[in-house]
Each structure stands twice: as structure tokens, then as C-alpha cells.
Amino acid sequence: MRRYLHIHLQNQTIDTEQLDGEALVKAGRYLIAKTLVDNNVATVDPLGPDNPLIFSAGPFAGTAFSNANRTSVGCKSPLTGGIKEANSGGTFAYGLGRLEIAGLTLHGQSKDWVVIHLHKDGAMTFDDATPYMGKGNVEVTAMFHERYGKHIAVGLCGPVGEYLGLLAGITFTDSDGRPSRLAARGGVGAVMGSKKVKAIVIGLHRMPQLHDRPKHVTDMRTYAQKLQADPVVSGFYQPTGTMGMADYTNYVGGIPVNNFTSGQQTTADGGPFTMGGTYISELNNSRGGKQTHACMPGCIIQCSNVYVDANGKEMTSPVEYETLALLGTNCGLTNPDHLAEMNQYCNDLGIDTIETGAMIAVLMDAGLAQFGDVAFMEQVFTELRQGSDKGRLWAGGTARVGQHYGIERVPVIKGQAISAYDPRVIEVTGISMMTTAQGADHTTGNVARMQSFDKELPELMAASLASQIACAAVDSVGLCLFGRSVTNPNIDFLAQAVNDTIGTNLEPNFFQQIGRETLRLEVAFNRAAGFTEADDELPAFFYQEPLAPTQRTARFHAADVHEIYEHMDEVGTEGVPDQYGRVS
């Protein structure tokens, strides 16, 4: 049994709902979609009081089960106007689980700025947020540690979210207490700002009650052993992390460079690709940085990192692939130290590195600066921090900035910046980004390494669907998708581990069911919000401008892929044995 909290901000009251059984598993992305659809949120003002802001943890939250303490945040997106679930690692879900809280929803809007404090004894207080307003996330987190102690987890609205900038995500503290993990996409931080909630501070408590603790501990150890033995985990995520994807996408010509005008960053002298994971990890290790780091308690995958400068001083954490590409190569950067500097600005402001990088590259393409102009990028962050007229314009995101400056090369779908996979080359991920109700979000169905040029659309759509089903399921149970090389083929083990933890009687096919239902709910929400086939179209330049070095243009239009979800029951679930991954 765990509590779910409905926090009514206008009068500072709380309604508590008791959850058990499958209700604790139908969490995260599923819970968000079901709640928003059932409450007819599709037509509300996303920055008004009727847009609920949902925080949800999965069934393993509060335990040390590897990569199982992710937090899902959801609402109607003020960036896209559609549904949004943004999830993150860190300690927030872990903290909720330790208080035996399954999640919470912020309803309405507070009159004054508050910090919501969930005490470890179960009490809740609304504290005055005045001392923290306008300050960067690093300073505010230090102040929280001074006031509330070191043993806390924090969910934080940064200074850009305070003035409702749509670049804003919600920042969570990592396993070392630094504010570095973001539920970044879709403007969820602006929704938190609209509610005048500066932060949610959780006092870390003890291990939650479990259905069968000895079996849970055995399952936890078995899973850890499977992860440690997995070559994807030990050979890719642990030594290099997500930044290793850059070496692949740059090689195949699918990484965004200079506002998506090229798919490969090269040097005049033929030197190494300095923005690749191999180069950066070797550089960071040579300086004494941490290239293997857990963002959440108990995680065996440890794909995070702590990047340091030439003197061994921490610059930022973590440098990830999407940041490396959108805020790095896409803006013309070639020096990892410059990338780390920009990444830390985003951490401190609490903003999405994907949306921010895409927006800055559009500014460069509009003639405000040359690609690679570090001083200009620093000035952009200064304006964003100050909330100046320019800063507020730029904080509106890539689509709005492109429209303001009259630029045609604006890489967005449904108003959200495209992730770091150019759809002219990384075609299956492109289909996922075109069709998902979430906007151009690669995490909904990333199949980056599939060789697609010799394949026809039905096969590519099937691959996208299978991945989308699997990702929706993972996002609904609080797991990090980077464990999928182990969890998906061992879905029967995962079902039993959930049963041992919370006392359910799940069958292994539960996960594909929740994945499919989540996708259907999201599509229903966006249709109610007014989205049509036209919203699945890529920007025109993807069809008109061949991408160097492959010279490829986008092959598929909205009309080709819009009905993808009508075929959902015809495919299996990525990586899951057919007996558990298909509709029977």
C-alpha cells in the first residue's frame, strides 16, 4: 500500500488516495495519459490552473533495484499543446518511494511562491520560497541543503521556469545531491512555474515496506548480475555512456551539425572527431573525471559521468549524447570544454539542452552569430538568466524563435525541437518522432542503428511501433530504458520481480498491454486537443535539402505514417519474446 497525494495549491489542502496492487504498476507515462484523458485536459490552457502537474514513481521506487527509480512528470505541454510525459533519473522517485508515496499531482495555482516540503515523518508543509527566487539551481540546492539537511531529494523549478519560459524543465538532484537530472522536454518547468511551486523537497527516509523482502533482495541481486554480464551495459554504457552514440551517428552522417545543414562534423586536417564519445571519455578519464557514474541509487548501468577541466575541477554532470549533439555540433562547437560550459548553464537554469541547442542554432542561422561562436552562446544564457526581453523571446523555444526571425530551417515537429537523429538518415527514429503524440521525442521509439535505406516503409513502421510499445511500457513502470537489453528478453523475470515487491499477480504480457494502452490514450488526447495528420509532417527543408555527406532527403510524409497506430496490434514488442510481446 502506498499513498498518492492530490495537492490543492489554491488552499494548501491535500487529498490522499491509497493505492495497491496493479495501481502501483500502472504508473508513470500510463498514469499521466489516463489521468489527462479522463479529466478532459486536452482543451485547457496549459499555463492555467486547470492543467494538473503529475509526478509519478514506479513499483520499485525507494529500493535499490537497478535503474528503477525514474520519475515521470506529465501535463498538457505549453510548448506543443499536446500531451507530455518527461522522465528523469535522480533521487526524486527514490525519495517518494522511501516515504511510501506513489506520486503526487499539483492542482490549481498557488497565490504565492512556495516550497513544498515532504517531511520524512509524513508531514507536509508549504514554506515561503522568497529567499530562492531568481537564483540558479546550484545556489538554491546549496541553500536547501543548509536549511533541510543533506539527506533530501529535490524537484526544482529554475529561474527560466519562474517566468514561464518554455525551455524550462524540472530539475532533480542526482545521487550526489547536485541539481543535474532534468525532466526536460515539453515545457513542464513552465507549468511548475505557473503553479508558483519553486521546489518540492523530500526528506529521505527508510526502505519502504515490501510484499516479500527476501525475494525482492534476491531479484535485485539477480538483475544486477544480468546487467553486469550484458555486453551493451559493460561495453558501452559503463565505459562511455550515451555520448558514445555520437561516434556512430557522425560516422553514418546523421548527427545534427550547424542547424541540421550537415550530418557529419569533420576537421580540415582530418583529425579525430573531438565531439565523439570515444574522444571525450578518454579526455575525461585522463583528467581524473568520472566516466562511470550512477545518477540514481542502486543503478548498475552507471551511464552518467562527471566531466572535469584540465585541472581536474568539475565542470558539469552529465555530458550526454543529446546535449553533445544539439548544444554542441548543432551549434558548431568542437571543444568538449565549451560543450561542458554550456551544459552547466542549462543545468543551473533548469532548461532542456535539446530545445535550447536547437533554438541557439536557429539564432545563428538567422545571422545573429557564426556557428561555433562561444561568446554569443554565453550571451544567450545571460539573457535567459536575466529574463530580459530577448531572453523571454528566446525562452519560447525553437519554433517560436524561428517564426519571429522568419527562418525556414526550423527543426521541429509539433512545435518541439527534433532530437539528435536527423530523419533523413536515421529513418526509423524519424518515424517515431513524426508520429508520437509527445512531439519530436526520440525516447518514444529510438531505433538509431537500423539500416533502413534498402527497406520499405511497412518494415520501418513496424520497427518504430515495436520500439514505441516497449518504450511506453518502460516509461510507465519507472524503469530506465537503458536496461532494455536485459529487461526486454527477460520480461517474465521482471514480472515476477514486481510481484515479489508489491504483491501483484502480473503475467509477463502485462507490459506490452500497458505500452499499447498508453499509446492509444496519448493519441486520443492529441486528437481531442486538435492535432491532425498535418502535425506529423517534417519541416519542408528535410524534403528539399540533401544532407551531406549521404546527400539524402526525407522519404516519408505525414500522410504515409499518420495511421501507424492502426497497425499496433500487428507487431510485437521490441526485444520481448513473441509469447509475451504480441497480442494473443
pLDDT tens-digit profile of 276-329? 999 999 999 999 999 999 999 999 999 999 999 999 999 999 999 999 999 999
Q: Tens of pLDDT along 348-369?
A: 999 999 999 999 999 999 999 9
Q: Is 62 left (phi over 0), alpha (psi -120 to 50) or beta?
A: left
Is 102:54 a contact under the CB 8 Å cutoff? no
The pTM assigned to this predicted structure is: 0.98
* Cell 533548469, located at residue: 350
413's CB contacts (< 8 A; 6+ apart) are: 433, 434, 439, 440, 535, 536, 537, 538, 539
pLDDT digits (tens, 9 = 90+) for 417-426: 999 999 999 9
Give the mean pLDDT of the chain.
Answer: 97
Q: What is the C-alpha to C-alpha distance for residues 438 and 85, in angstroms, rounded to an integer?
A: 7
Task: Number of helices (H) and strands (E) in the chain: give both, helices first.
Answer: 23, 17
Half-sphere exposure of 280 (CA within 13 A, CB side): 33
What is the model's pLDDT at position 465?
98
Residue-wise pLDDT for 461-512, tens only, equals: 999 999 999 999 999 999 999 999 999 999 999 999 999 999 999 999 999 9
Question: 491-502 vs 213-229: helix axis angle to the nearest 10?
Answer: 150
User: Can you tell me which residue has the cell 543503478?
Assistant: 299
Half-sphere exposure of 385 (CA within 13 A, CB side): 16
* pLDDT at 584 exceeding the cut of 90: no
- Residue 114 has a pLDDT of 98
334 — pLDDT class (breaks 50, 70, 90): very high
Identify the band that residue 267 occupies on the pLDDT scale cut at 50, 70 and 90: confident
* CA–CA dist 227, 113 (Å, integer): 43
Name the residue among 192, 191, 188, 170 with its Cα closest to residue 350.
170
Q: CB–CB of 573/515 below 8 Å?
A: yes
- Residue range(s) occupied by CATH 3.60.9.10 in the chain: 2-203
Cell numbers for 274, please give them: 573531438
Cα 166 to Cα 429: distance, rounded to the nearest angstrom:
24
User: Percent of the chain at pLDDT above 90?
Assistant: 99
Q: In this structure, how many other beta carbons lie within 10 angstroms of the beta carbon of residue 468? A: 30
What single letter denotes the amino acid at residue 460?
A: L
Peptide bond into 549 cis (omega under 30): yes
d(CA 346, CA 361): 15
Q: List every span in the chain annotated with CATH 1.10.599.10.
A: 432-477+509-584
**pLDDT (0 to 100) of residue 268:** 80
pLDDT at 285: 98
Instruction: Specify the residue for cell string 530506465.
Output: 480
Q: Say what the pLDDT of residue 112 is.
A: 98
For residue range 122-177, what is the model confidence (pLDDT) as tens digits? 999 999 999 999 999 999 999 999 999 999 999 999 999 999 999 999 999 999 99
Q: How would CATH label the architecture of 2-203?
A: 4-Layer Sandwich (3.60)
Calculate the CA 480 to chain-centre distance.
Answer: 10
- Does domain 432-477+509-584 match CATH 1.10.10.60? no
Average pLDDT over residues 379-386: 98
Q: Is the pLDDT of residue 270 over 90?
A: no
Mean pLDDT, range 63-75, rounded to an integer: 97
pLDDT at residue 434 is higher than 90: yes
Nearest to 192 by CA among 343, 78, 28: 78
Cα separations (Å) of 41 from 108, 402, 522?
A: 13, 28, 12
Domain with CATH 1.10.569.10 in the chain: 230-410
Q: What whole-number distance in Å separates Cα of residue 414 and Cα of residue 378?
A: 28
**Cβ(487)–Cβ(494) below 8 Å:** yes
Phi first, then psi: give them for residue 148, nearest 5 degrees: -105, -10
Distance of CA 413 to the CA centre of its chain: 16
Determine the Cα–Cα distance for residues 152 and 199; give it in Å rounded to an integer. Answer: 12
Question: What value does the mean pLDDT take over residues 250-265?
Answer: 98
How many Å apart are CA 250 and CA 329, to the nearest integer? Answer: 10
Percent of all residues in the chain with a pLDDT value above 70, rounded to a whole number: 100
CB contact set of 478 (below 8 Å; sequence gap of 6+): 27, 28, 56, 57, 58, 59, 60, 61, 68, 69, 70, 71, 72, 93
Q: Return the half-sphere exposure (C-beta side, CA atoms, 13 A cut-off) of residue 256.
A: 32
d(CA 582, CA 513): 9
The span from the CA of 95 to the CA of 124, in Å, is 14
CATH topology of domain 230-410: 1.10.569
Average the pLDDT over 249-271 and give the result: 95
Q: What is the pLDDT of residue 269?
A: 83
pLDDT of residue 107 exceeding 90, the answer is yes
In sequence order, what DSSP letters do the residues of 510-558 get, joined into one string? Answer: HHHHHHHHHHHHHHHHHHHTT--GGGGPPPTHHHHSPBBTTTB-----H
Q: Is the peptide bond before 256 cis (omega within 30 degrees of 0)?
A: no
- Alpha helices of 149-289 — where are they, by DSSP H? 159-162, 188-194, 213-229, 231-232, 245-252, 277-287
Confidence class for position 576, pLDDT limits 50, 70, 90: very high
Confidence band of 111 (pLDDT split at 50, 70, 90)? very high
> Residue range 538-556: average pLDDT?
98
With left for phi above 0 and alpha for psi between -120 and 50, is residue 367 left, alpha or beta?
Answer: left
